[in-house]
Amino acid sequence: MSEIAVMVKDGDKKAIAAFFKEDPKGVAEYLKSGKMPTSIAGKRFVAMYQSLASILDVIFEGETLQIQSFIASTGISAAQADALALSSLFMSPAIKQTILNEWVNKPYNGYPLSQRIWGLNKATENKLMQMVAAGFADGRNPKQLAGLVRGITGQQSASNIRRLLLTENSRVQHGVQKLAVREFRHISYVVLKFGVRHKEPCLCDPYQRKGRMKYEDAPDLPLHPSSSSYYQPIPTPIDEWKKEMGYV
Ligand SMILES: [Zn+2]
């Protein structure tokens, strides 16, 4: 039987709370030295951090390609395009680490990433505590109980983690796009598009109905947790862009 199933069977609330407790030290140590935390909260942070770091790679490459193809379409000279890329903070190799650090530390809805992940643990912990409080473990054979606990700690947290990943993905994606647009001004308008699992009514609806919005006026994404809505960019007209960037 797993460690946590034994705790539930023994009705050991203290041990359960300790098992799920937040681990800012373990997280800080991992970010500093790469040492794997021993706590469940710390391990989840590492798993989430690593998947989002690779998602960030893909988002960044995509954004870079879009900028390059936009610049190619403007007809500025190769030397001008090189100079633009060279002067860019966004194109510098250090930017990904900067974005990653910012994303980890910047509070979202008041909480930094480690606490947002910890919120997921809290839901699992509460469920197990309820089982303990209800004396749920009584009269169950160890195999049955271990299965139940595995179900709660596994399936429930897996779906919560998927939701959080979706939310964080949208947040990082929009953050990267904003940085790119600030420097390259290649997008002037956007249209909000619903993601695949969109269900009405939701907070995205009024913005979707607006149609075309100025990029600066478009609100930060996601508009709500686990939203997969995204902005379809409308490229800046070339003549306008040239004027704005000082090429004419
Ligand atoms: Zn929505």
Would you kindly state where each structural domain of the chain is located, as residue ranges?
3-184, 186-248
Calpha distance 169→227 (Å, rounded): 10
Ligand 1 centre distance from Cα of residue 227 (Å): 5
Q: Is residue 160 very low, low, confident or very high in pLDDT (cuts 50, 70, 90)?
A: confident
Overall average pLDDT of the 155-182 stretch: 87
Cα–Cα dist 126/129, whole Å: 5
Please tell me the distance between residue 47's alpha carbon and the centre of ligand 1 in angstroms. 26
DSSP annotation string for 82-125: HHHHHT-STTSTTHHHHHHHHHHHS-BTTB-HHHHHHHHHHHHH
Instruction: Using the mean position of ligand 1's atoms as its centre, give its distance from the Cα of residue 103 in Å.
Output: 22
Q: What pLDDT was estimated at residue 138?
A: 72
CA of 107 to the centre of ligand 1 (A): 21
Predicted confidence at residue 135, as pLDDT, reads 81
**Distance, CA 169 to ligand 1 centroid (Å)?**
14
Ligand 1 center to 233 CA (angstroms): 18
* CA of residue 147 to ligand 1 center, whole Å: 35
Residue 105: its pLDDT value, please? 86
Instruction: Please enumerate in sequence order all residues whose Cβ is within 8 A of that of 134, keeping only pairs 6 or more positions apart, or say none.
Output: none
pLDDT tens for 69-114 read 999 999 999 999 999 999 999 998 899 889 988 888 888 878 888 8
Percentage of residues of the chain with pLDDT beyond 90: 49
With 70 as the cut, is the pLDDT of residue 25 above it? yes
Among the ranges given (68-77, 111-120, 134-143), the one the predictor scored with the smallest mean pLDDT: 134-143
Distance between Cα 163 and ligand 1 center (Å): 13
* Mean pLDDT computed over 196-200: 80
Quote the pLDDT of residue 158: 77
Q: Which of 107-121, 190-204, 207-221 is the least confident region?
A: 107-121
What single letter denotes the amino acid at residue 204? Answer: C
Distance between CA atoms of residues 205 and 138, nearest Å: 48
Quote the CA–CA distance of 88 and 182 in Å, as a whole number: 11
Overall average pLDDT of the 130-150 stretch: 82
Query: How far away, in angstroms, is 225 Cα from ligand 1 center?
Result: 8
Q: Ligand 1 centroid vs 141 CA: distance in angstroms? A: 44
pLDDT at residue 1, rounded to an integer: 61
For residue 143, the model assigns a pLDDT of: 84
Q: pLDDT digits over 28-43, tens only? A: 999 999 999 998 889 8
Residues flanking ion ligand 1, Cβ below 5 Å: 202, 204, 227
| Percent of residues, the chain, with pLDDT higher than 70 | 99
Q: How much distance in Å is there from the Cα of 10 to the middle of ligand 1?
A: 43
Mean pLDDT of 63-71: 95
* Ligand 1 centre distance from Cα of residue 171 (Å): 13
Range with the largest mean pLDDT of 39-43, 146-150, 236-240: 236-240
Q: Locate tokens 């994404």: which residue? A: 221
Please say if the pLDDT value at position 190 is more than 90: yes
CA of 86 to the centre of ligand 1 (A): 38
Report, as an integer, the average pLDDT of 160-175.
Answer: 87
Q: Residue 163: pLDDT above 90?
A: no
Cα separation of 217 and 189, whole Å?
9
Mean pLDDT within 227-243: 94
Has residue 118 got a pLDDT over 70? yes
